[in-house]
Chains A and B, each alone.
Chain A
């Protein structure tokens, strides 16, 4: 099957297809702002309006009957959210049911795939799933895609990019199956309550507004009215009650803890010092950090700084952790914008604290709406699998070229923030993290201001002001090429194998919909 006709080099020198059978035409990436400048208008995709007879019931007795009633057929597109993290059982339950009903060739467009979705690899092999749109892939699914088992290239999108794709109609969802930790019979739902409480349903909100048919699936049906509503009833076609939405221990996770790794703490401390040197840690600062390793630890240093200097920030956003909630409760922020809760420890806050604001995926990061939250970020701290001397960041593929990561809000926040800092150990498992060319670009170096490692800080040459401030603060600033050499003196220079095949197994969309990179088949 001739899946791709032609490839061109984009402005980063990456080879990307201009047309993919089954997906259509793509523009190559031309810089982070190529579709933002100029202010021209596009059509906003809208789902059909439908009426219902008064006094009817939306509750459907089983998943199978709900699928039947939704009109789902082979070849259609289904969507899911991944707010239940590694505990989600709904995606697999729906797809298995589809298989049992003889529905095949589905396009699956979840907000992301997690460890709970390993079974998708087998569903691909059995023909139930034919295409995948996602932010992340891991484990068996990543391997299956990288080996070329999915016929049509997988489209990797950032959170903002996904909202944009859905709103502009690049991805048209036929049926959205939305896990609803608490739901009333009319379909009003929230993620902040119930035994499978997960926090924000930000990604699901986007699906609910654009899918042709919306099925709410809950293990906690409450009488109307549910007073905390994340997705309102008028967007929901059916309500299905199941025994359980998944593994509670993996859904209701405790608050993420600050790392105790001395290397991660060193990296975090230097990242914090760089933020302080930038003078952005001022009253009304807005801020985002990730949940992992060094990234969350930066928040601990920032928190101490804000407390000591009596600085009150404006807002924090993104994936929200219990740690950020503590900062909100201490009055270090006015508000939190929560598109996705990284740990279920935030549920209470989301349910009770009016300053903990649930936002949808488009509000969070869509570059082509009339203004998303990340576009007003002061500081973001992001992780990386690998970076290169042009400051490009890979968070998608491992050094064997296999898909094993998630695009997430990485490129969205990097583009939006005044200061985008990438934190990474200079080597992992004996393999250097700084390369001449990252395997897969997810976030372009044009939007990354600094890379902080335990062995020094590299500052993007575009940011001479930042380099000057960092040097004045006596931070260990190094040229990125020197830092790379220093690390290679310890690790040796890895011999990166050329891809085994010219076949594109996945494309990485930049947030604006242009293609920033391709992922090639490996053995």
Chain B
């Protein structure tokens, strides 16, 4: 379980700003103009990253500025790593 609130990414176009905070299960909030177009993908993408990091849950807020899948994955991963390391950001 992650112990800290952390962020990764930016609000520039093609990027996303990911904010994670501790939670027992997955709580996902996706904001952005294309959120509804990719609703299913977004959830499974987050679940995959969580599993890769060996985490069961986190509250994850993604402000999606039109990021590609690869960017979303990387940013979510960075945010979770930061939260796990306890880097207070």
Contacts and interface: CB of A to CB of B under 8 A. Distances in A.
Q: Do A and B have CB atoms closer than 8 angstroms in the complex?
A: yes
Interface of A: 399-400, 427-431, 490-497
Interface stretch (B18-26, B49-57, B60-68, B76-84): B60-68
Nearest to A399: B37
Contact of B67 (A430, A494, A497): A430
Interface string B9-40: 00001100000000000000000011011111
B41 interface: yes
A490 B37 contact: no
B39 A431 contact: no
A428 B40 CA distance: 19
B66 A495 contact: no
Contacts, number: 41
B37 A431 contact: yes
Contacts of B37: 399, 431, 494-496
A399 B35 CA distance: 11
A430 B32 CA distance: 11
Interface residues of B, number: 17
**Residue of B33, B40, B64, B65 with highest tally of chain A CB at under 10 A:** B33
Nearest to A428: B66
A429 B33 contact: yes
Given A490-B68, A492-B69, A429 B38 contact: no
Contacts of A430: 14, 34, 38, 64, 66-68
A429 B69 CA distance: 12
Given A429-B13, A431-B34, A495 B69 contact: no
A490 to B, nearest CB: 5
A429 B63 CA distance: 12
A258 to B, nearest CB: 20
5 contacts: A429-B13, A430-B14, A494-B38, A495-B38, A495-B41
Contact of A490 (B38, B40, B65, B69): B69
Contacts of B66: 428-431
Given A400-B36, A491-B69, A497-B36, 8 more contacts: A428-B66, A429-B33, A429-B65, A430-B34, A490-B70, A492-B38, A492-B69, A495-B41
A494 B34 contact: yes
Contacts of A431: 34, 37, 66
Contacts of B33: 400, 429
A399 B70 contact: no
A185 to B, nearest CB: 51
A492 to B, nearest CB: 5
A428 B33 CA distance: 11
Nearest to A429: B66
B47 to A, nearest CB: 14
Nearest to A398: B33
A429 B34 contact: yes
A492 B41 contact: yes
Contacts of A399: 34, 37
